[in-house]
Amino acid sequence: MRAKWGWFVALGALMIVAGLIAMGNLVLGTVVSVLYVGAMMAVAGIGEIFHAFQVKGWGAFLFWLLSGLLYLAAGIIAFMNPLLAAAWLTLLLGIALIVSGVFRGIAAWHARPHAGWGWLAFSSFISLLLGIEIVIRWPVNSLWILGLFLGIDLIFNGVAVFMLGWRLKK
């Protein structure tokens, strides 16, 4: 890896720039996120439909076919109306964060006698807070929240990859 340090630095810089672009236009970042998710769902749906015809003898043909059609339809909807898809994905993200926060809170409660349980409780609190904030401000925030999360993720990951490459050089 040490010999390729420059590639890590370049990739990190590219990700940082992409993150800054997403942060500069959160609606565009949201639309790009939705189109990416839509493309992956459509590809997965087509794969499941083809798979359904390969497992006819298993008795699960209808399950795989319907699952594939559902994925394909969701992917097509994401491309036809990315803002509607963003609204639903944002709501699902908020609900998932709330559920995750509750589960993590329960895990923290059970981990209380052990050192470090407070970090788990803090993580639970942050997930709950973010999830509640998203759900309360839905659907208005669906125009920008996914773009914000994409931008933050790209910047943090870009900095990590950039720093890894920089450290490999030394």
Radius of gyration of the chain (CA): 20
DSSP class of residue 69 equals H
> What pLDDT, on the 0 to 100 scale, is given for residue 92?
94
Please write the tens of the pLDDT for every residue from 64-111. 899 999 999 999 999 999 999 999 999 999 999 999 999 999 998 988
Q: What is the pLDDT of residue 2?
A: 82
For residues 22-36, one letter each, b for 16 or more C-beta atoms within 10 angstroms of the residue's C-beta and e for the rest, the string is bbeebeebbbbbbbe
Share of the chain above pLDDT 70, in %: 99
pTM of the entire predicted model: 0.76
- What is the pLDDT at residue 72? 97
Counting as low any pLDDT under 70, the low residues of the chain are: none
Domain borders along the chain are: 9-33+82-169
Largest CA distance in the chain: 59
